[in-house]
Amino acid sequence: MPLGDAPNYSTPRTLGLALVSILGSLAHFTLGALDYGNVSRYLGLYGMLLAALLLVFGVLSLIRYAEAQDAMTDPSPRTPMYSTPHERLTFLVGTGLNALCALTALAWAAGGQLVPWHLAAAAVNLWAVWLAWQAKPRPSED
């Protein structure tokens, strides 16, 4: 990334990924509380654990977005500090967590009573997967 480029975390897709991930995690928590007794206890606990991890991912991504926005208003020239190995890993984790949550929602829809709501939660997670895939950093042409 050449000096002066905007950090990848400052993009609107990163903000969207953070917000959609938070929305998806809250949907899974709510559905988990409402439909917990109708599925396997282990599937329910697994789904809510994934939702907790997704919530942490969403909040940390939101914090990184805010930090990147703040860094862009710094009067000093930006250095390529965001071009680090963890940047790509962050978006891969977002893709993986959202994909696992979508699969869990589909499994929960097969055994639960709130089928349309679980399918809607899966759709939110698939939207986040698409955002994460689109927001992942491209290899630099250095």
Residue 95 has pLDDT above 80, yes or no: yes
pLDDT in tens, 27-76: 988 888 887 777 777 877 888 889 999 999 999 989 988 887 777 777 76
Q: What's the token pair of residue 34?
A: 């409402």
Which range has highest mean pLDDT (10-14, 30-34, 40-44, 92-96)? 92-96
Express as a percent the part of the chain with pLDDT over 90.
30
